[in-house]
Amino acid sequence: MDPALSDPLNSSAETASPSNGTTRPPSTPEGIALAYGSLLLMALLPIFFGALRSVRCAHGKNPADMPETITSRDAARFPIIASCTLLGLYLFFKIFSQEYINLLLSMYFFVLGILALSHTISPFMNKFFPANFPNRQYQLLFTQGSGETKEEIVNYEFDTKDLVCLGLSSIVGVWYLLRKHWIANNLFGLAFSLNGVELLHLSNVSTGCILLGGLFIYDVFWVFGTNVMVTVARSFEAPIKLVFPQDLLEKGLEADNFAMLGLGDIVIPGIFIALLLRFDISLKKNTYTYFYTSFAAYVFGLGLTIFIMHIFKHAQPALLYLVPACIGFPVLVALVKGEVTEMFSYEESNAKDPAAGTESKCAETVKETEKKEN
């Protein structure tokens, strides 16, 4: 599962407290507005571009690039798995040294971040390579067994352009590993988010409702019911959240009073919005009503989260506001247009399932035979 989605910290936007116990001067209204506006913009970018790329991913012919489909069973189990993971991390931080845990996590996300960022920038970088660029193909293949029992463990194809993107991403990775700079953190966070929205596909709208509904309860419980999520979010030094300094105007790039937004608050609604974009395309009406509606609903929900948090001065479970907006707005539009049945009957076949491909080929063969007979 994509790292951005498997991480349980879809914690809400909040203001990070100082770790050294000293009192920071209050942020200016301009600084606060810049920080939250930047977080909102950064959240929208991976959702928008990730949704567009998910369409191409769904119709890709390379089996290695096929998306991971989330079924209703996966959706129902995810909040439980996320809760266990979150509680486990909380206990780890309480029992063991936070320094060593974050060192291990830094190395883990260093590798994942480079791969995610390389995959993210690859389509953009291809436009800058000259036509005569010596692009060679490579294949990384690991197998187990021999003869008829031989089984592929890893089969990854790449080219020279991919290696260039990997090298550029490694520079960001080293920067993050050495400095833990917030810009490097955000580059990895945006890459994780975009990859999550692109590669994680919901099987249908009902599955999306189950996933969002379950995580709605999860988010509310762990933010309002306990201090577990906020504690882990502040202790967890990894690019699993987007951050932006509220004192940027005063301190520049060395600012350290951060507002933050968990990647789960981007990826979870994002994969639902991407599903609605693919549903729009399946209607073949050349309109993207449900995509734009859900996208606007996300802006409304996240904006409401920031507003409530600013008023009450307390961390807010963003999914408390995002889930009703992202589900309610599109369903309301479907009711008005009389397309509720079409929306909930839309089903995405698992492109990795060989049986699905066989059935599709059989159907095409039957159609061709009927045409010849007629």
Verify whether residue 65 is a known catalytic residue.
no
Q: Which of 2, 162, 265, 280 is catalytic?
A: 265
Verify whether residue 265 is a known catalytic residue.
yes
* Interaxial angle between packed helices 98-125 and 160-179, expressed in degrees from 0 to 180 and rounded to the nearest 10: 150
Q: DSSP labels for 291-356?
A: HHHHHHHHHHHHHHHHHHHHHHTS---THHHHHHHHHHHHHHHHHHHT-HHHHHH-B---TT-HHH
Altogether, the residues listed in the chain come to a count of 374
CA distance linking residue 101 with residue 89, whole number of Å: 10
Residue pointed to by tokens 């309610």:
328
Number of H helices, E strands in the chain: 14, 7
Kindly list the distances between the CA atom of residue 168 and the CA atoms of 164, 174, 186, in Å, as whole numbers in the listed order: 6, 10, 16
User: What count of other Cβ atoms lies within 10 Å of the Cβ of residue 342?
Assistant: 14
Q: Which of 2, 7, 162, 219 is catalytic?
A: 219
Residues 6+ apart with CB under 8 A from 33: none
Q: Which amino acid is at 95?
A: I
- Say whether 39 sits in a helix, a strand or coil: helix
Residue pointed to by tokens 């050495």:
178
Residues 6+ apart with CB under 8 A from 218: 79, 82, 83, 319
CA distance linking residue 166 with residue 116, whole number of Å: 9
Catalytically annotated residues = 219, 265
